[in-house]
Amino acid sequence: MIVDTLKPPYYAVIFTTILNDNLEDYLETAKRIEALAKEQKGFLGIESARNTIGITVSYWQTLADITHWKNNIEHTEARNLGREKWYKQYQLRICKVEREYGFKQ
Amino acid sequence: MIVDTLKPPYYAVIFTTILNDNLEDYLETAKRIEALAKEQKGFLGIESARNTIGITVSYWQTLADITHWKNNIEHTEARNLGREKWYKQYQLRICKVEREYGFKQ
Protein backbone atom coordinates (compact mmCIF):
# COMPACT_ATOMS: atom_id res chain seq x y z
CA MET A 1 0.00 0.00 0.00
CA ILE A 2 0.94 3.66 -0.26
CA VAL A 3 2.88 5.21 2.60
CA ASP A 4 1.24 8.60 3.20
CA THR A 5 2.02 9.59 6.78
CA LEU A 6 5.65 10.75 6.60
CA LYS A 7 7.05 14.28 6.87
CA PRO A 8 10.28 15.19 5.01
CA PRO A 9 13.16 15.17 5.49
CA TYR A 10 13.71 11.41 5.65
CA TYR A 11 15.42 8.85 3.41
CA ALA A 12 14.27 6.53 0.63
CA VAL A 13 16.02 3.44 -0.74
CA ILE A 14 14.85 2.80 -4.31
CA PHE A 15 15.60 -0.83 -5.22
CA THR A 16 14.91 -1.67 -8.87
CA THR A 17 15.28 -5.30 -9.96
CA ILE A 18 15.05 -7.72 -12.88
CA LEU A 19 14.63 -11.32 -11.75
CA ASN A 20 16.02 -14.53 -13.18
CA ASP A 21 13.78 -17.37 -14.34
CA ASN A 22 14.71 -19.74 -11.51
CA LEU A 23 13.25 -18.20 -8.37
CA GLU A 24 13.62 -21.11 -5.97
CA ASP A 25 13.28 -19.86 -2.37
CA TYR A 26 13.00 -16.28 -3.59
CA LEU A 27 9.50 -15.43 -2.38
CA GLU A 28 10.05 -17.00 1.03
CA THR A 29 13.32 -15.09 1.50
CA ALA A 30 11.85 -11.82 0.21
CA LYS A 31 8.97 -12.07 2.69
CA ARG A 32 11.33 -12.87 5.56
CA ILE A 33 13.64 -9.95 4.72
CA GLU A 34 10.71 -7.54 4.43
CA ALA A 35 9.43 -8.65 7.85
CA LEU A 36 12.93 -8.22 9.29
CA ALA A 37 13.28 -4.73 7.73
CA LYS A 38 10.06 -3.67 9.46
CA GLU A 39 11.61 -4.51 12.84
CA GLN A 40 14.68 -2.31 12.28
CA LYS A 41 15.36 0.98 14.01
CA GLY A 42 14.36 3.91 11.81
CA PHE A 43 12.16 1.90 9.40
CA LEU A 44 9.26 4.11 8.28
CA GLY A 45 7.48 2.17 5.55
CA ILE A 46 7.73 0.23 2.29
CA GLU A 47 6.04 0.29 -1.13
CA SER A 48 6.42 -2.39 -3.82
CA ALA A 49 5.26 -3.11 -7.36
CA ARG A 50 6.34 -5.59 -10.00
CA ASN A 51 5.57 -6.46 -13.60
CA THR A 52 8.46 -6.35 -16.13
CA ILE A 53 10.74 -4.91 -13.48
CA GLY A 54 10.28 -4.70 -9.72
CA ILE A 55 10.50 -1.46 -7.77
CA THR A 56 10.62 -1.54 -3.98
CA VAL A 57 11.00 1.72 -2.10
CA SER A 58 11.71 1.57 1.63
CA TYR A 59 11.69 4.66 3.82
CA TRP A 60 14.05 5.35 6.73
CA GLN A 61 14.60 8.07 9.31
CA THR A 62 18.36 8.49 8.85
CA LEU A 63 21.30 7.37 6.69
CA ALA A 64 22.71 5.60 9.77
CA ASP A 65 19.52 3.48 9.95
CA ILE A 66 20.03 2.45 6.30
CA THR A 67 23.67 1.51 6.95
CA HIS A 68 22.69 -0.44 10.05
CA TRP A 69 20.11 -2.41 8.04
CA LYS A 70 22.62 -2.97 5.19
CA ASN A 71 25.02 -4.55 7.71
CA ASN A 72 22.41 -6.85 9.29
CA ILE A 73 23.79 -10.39 8.94
CA GLU A 74 20.61 -12.07 7.68
CA HIS A 75 20.08 -9.22 5.22
CA THR A 76 23.68 -9.56 3.99
CA GLU A 77 23.27 -13.31 3.48
CA ALA A 78 20.05 -12.78 1.52
CA ARG A 79 21.73 -10.10 -0.62
CA ASN A 80 24.56 -12.51 -1.45
CA LEU A 81 22.05 -15.23 -2.39
CA GLY A 82 20.21 -12.67 -4.49
CA ARG A 83 23.32 -11.91 -6.53
CA GLU A 84 24.11 -15.62 -6.91
CA LYS A 85 20.61 -16.85 -7.75
CA TRP A 86 17.71 -14.46 -8.16
CA TYR A 87 18.74 -11.15 -9.65
CA LYS A 88 19.63 -10.68 -13.28
CA GLN A 89 20.17 -6.99 -12.59
CA TYR A 90 19.49 -4.47 -9.87
CA GLN A 91 20.07 -0.83 -9.06
CA LEU A 92 19.92 0.55 -5.52
CA ARG A 93 19.66 4.28 -4.85
CA ILE A 94 19.86 6.06 -1.52
CA CYS A 95 17.96 9.33 -1.56
CA LYS A 96 16.97 12.14 0.74
CA VAL A 97 13.26 12.91 0.47
CA GLU A 98 13.03 16.70 0.43
CA ARG A 99 9.37 17.39 -0.50
CA GLU A 100 6.20 15.36 -0.62
CA TYR A 101 2.66 15.83 -1.95
CA GLY A 102 -0.33 13.55 -1.51
CA PHE A 103 -3.80 13.12 -3.01
CA LYS A 104 -6.70 10.99 -1.84
CA GLN A 105 -10.25 10.94 -3.21
CA MET B 1 13.84 -1.02 -17.97
CA ILE B 2 16.38 -0.22 -15.29
CA VAL B 3 18.25 3.07 -15.50
CA ASP B 4 21.88 2.25 -14.69
CA THR B 5 24.01 4.98 -16.24
CA LEU B 6 23.58 7.90 -13.82
CA LYS B 7 26.09 9.37 -11.38
CA PRO B 8 24.86 11.01 -8.14
CA PRO B 9 24.00 13.62 -7.20
CA TYR B 10 20.80 14.01 -9.20
CA TYR B 11 17.07 13.99 -8.37
CA ALA B 12 14.34 11.35 -8.30
CA VAL B 13 10.57 11.85 -8.35
CA ILE B 14 8.87 8.83 -6.77
CA PHE B 15 5.22 8.73 -7.89
CA THR B 16 3.15 6.04 -6.16
CA THR B 17 -0.44 5.56 -7.32
CA ILE B 18 -3.64 3.59 -6.79
CA LEU B 19 -5.94 3.72 -9.83
CA ASN B 20 -9.72 3.88 -10.05
CA ASP B 21 -11.76 1.24 -11.89
CA ASN B 22 -12.75 3.52 -14.76
CA LEU B 23 -9.55 4.20 -16.69
CA GLU B 24 -11.01 5.73 -19.86
CA ASP B 25 -8.25 7.57 -21.76
CA TYR B 26 -5.75 6.81 -19.00
CA LEU B 27 -3.26 4.68 -20.93
CA GLU B 28 -3.21 7.01 -23.91
CA THR B 29 -2.61 10.03 -21.69
CA ALA B 30 0.02 8.25 -19.58
CA LYS B 31 1.96 7.31 -22.71
CA ARG B 32 1.73 10.84 -24.09
CA ILE B 33 2.91 12.39 -20.82
CA GLU B 34 5.82 9.94 -20.54
CA ALA B 35 6.90 10.79 -24.09
CA LEU B 36 6.63 14.50 -23.27
CA ALA B 37 8.67 14.06 -20.06
CA LYS B 38 11.46 12.46 -22.08
CA GLU B 39 11.72 15.64 -24.19
CA GLN B 40 12.18 17.94 -21.19
CA LYS B 41 15.39 19.63 -20.18
CA GLY B 42 17.17 17.69 -17.44
CA PHE B 43 15.25 14.42 -17.92
CA LEU B 44 17.59 11.50 -17.17
CA GLY B 45 15.42 8.38 -17.20
CA ILE B 46 12.27 6.63 -15.96
CA GLU B 47 11.41 3.30 -14.32
CA SER B 48 7.87 1.95 -13.85
CA ALA B 49 6.14 -1.06 -12.32
CA ARG B 50 2.52 -1.80 -11.44
CA ASN B 51 0.47 -4.55 -9.81
CA THR B 52 -1.61 -3.62 -6.73
CA ILE B 53 -0.06 -0.17 -6.72
CA GLY B 54 1.96 1.61 -9.37
CA ILE B 55 5.40 3.07 -8.77
CA THR B 56 6.99 5.34 -11.37
CA VAL B 57 10.37 6.88 -10.64
CA SER B 58 11.65 9.59 -12.96
CA TYR B 59 15.17 10.97 -12.72
CA TRP B 60 16.19 14.60 -13.27
CA GLN B 61 19.37 16.65 -13.23
CA THR B 62 18.16 19.49 -10.99
CA LEU B 63 15.21 20.61 -8.83
CA ALA B 64 14.63 23.43 -11.34
CA ASP B 65 14.13 20.83 -14.10
CA ILE B 66 11.46 19.11 -11.96
CA THR B 67 9.69 22.42 -11.29
CA HIS B 68 9.81 23.29 -14.99
CA TRP B 69 8.23 19.94 -15.89
CA LYS B 70 5.62 20.33 -13.13
CA ASN B 71 4.57 23.66 -14.68
CA ASN B 72 4.34 22.32 -18.26
CA ILE B 73 0.78 23.08 -19.41
CA GLU B 74 -0.01 19.69 -20.94
CA HIS B 75 1.41 17.96 -17.85
CA THR B 76 -0.71 20.20 -15.60
CA GLU B 77 -3.87 19.40 -17.57
CA ALA B 78 -3.13 15.66 -17.36
CA ARG B 79 -2.51 15.94 -13.61
CA ASN B 80 -5.87 17.68 -13.16
CA LEU B 81 -7.62 14.97 -15.19
CA GLY B 82 -5.81 12.37 -13.09
CA ARG B 83 -7.22 13.79 -9.88
CA GLU B 84 -10.70 14.05 -11.39
CA LYS B 85 -10.84 10.64 -13.07
CA TRP B 86 -8.02 8.13 -12.73
CA TYR B 87 -6.34 8.29 -9.34
CA LYS B 88 -7.91 6.96 -6.18
CA GLN B 89 -4.78 7.97 -4.31
CA TYR B 90 -1.25 9.09 -5.03
CA GLN B 91 1.89 10.21 -3.25
CA LEU B 92 4.66 12.17 -4.96
CA ARG B 93 8.10 12.51 -3.41
CA ILE B 94 10.98 14.68 -4.59
CA CYS B 95 14.32 13.24 -3.54
CA LYS B 96 18.01 13.90 -3.95
CA VAL B 97 19.86 10.73 -4.99
CA GLU B 98 23.03 10.71 -2.89
CA ARG B 99 24.50 7.23 -3.50
CA GLU B 100 23.94 4.45 -5.98
CA TYR B 101 24.99 0.81 -6.37
CA GLY B 102 24.40 -1.50 -9.31
CA PHE B 103 24.63 -5.21 -10.10
CA LYS B 104 24.43 -7.01 -13.42
CA GLN B 105 25.04 -10.70 -14.09
| CA B86/CA B21 separation, integer angstroms | 8
Residue in chain A lying closest to B88 (CA): A105
Mean pLDDT of A13-39: 96
| CA B33/CA B27 separation, integer angstroms | 10
Residues of chain A neighbouring B104 (CB-CB closer than 8 A): 88-89
Q: Report the pLDDT value the prediction gives residue A30, as an integer from 0 to 100.
A: 95
Task: Grade residue B75 by pLDDT with cuts at 50, 70 and 90.
Answer: very high
| CA B97/CA A24 separation, integer angstroms | 32
Min distance B33 CA to chain A CA atoms (Å): 19
- pLDDT-above-90 percentage for chain A: 98
- Per DSSP, the residues of chain A read -------SSEEEEEEEEEE-S--TTHHHHHHHHHHHHHTSTTEEEEEEEESSSEEEEEEES-HHHHHHHHT-HHHHHHHHHIIIIIEEEEEEEEEEEEEEEEEE-
Q: What is the mean pLDDT of chain A?
A: 97
Find, among B16, B18, B32, the residue nearest to B86 by Cα: B18
Partner residue opposite A105 with nearest CB, options B14, B51, B88: B88
Positive or negative: CA dihedral B97, A4, A43, B15: negative
Q: Report the pLDDT value the prediction gives residue B105, as an integer from 0 to 100.
A: 92
Q: Report the pLDDT value the prediction gives residue B20, as an integer from 0 to 100.
A: 96
Q: B34-65 burial, b for 16+ CB within 10 Å, e for fewer?
A: eeebeeeebbbbbbbbeeebbbbbbbbeeeeb
A27 lies within 8 A of chain B by CB? no
What pLDDT digit, counting tens, does each position of A53-98 carry? 999 999 999 999 999 999 999 999 999 999 999 999 999 999 999 9
ipTM confidence score: 0.96
* pTM of the model as a whole: 0.97
Residues of chain A neighbouring B20 (CB-CB closer than 8 A): 105
Residues of chain B neighbouring A4 (CB-CB closer than 8 A): 89, 91
Put simply, the answer to whether B103 touches A90 (Cβ < 8 Å) is yes
Min distance B100 CA to chain A CA atoms (Å): 4
A33 lies within 8 A of chain B by CB? no
Partner residue opposite B97 with nearest CB, options A18, A88, A95: A95
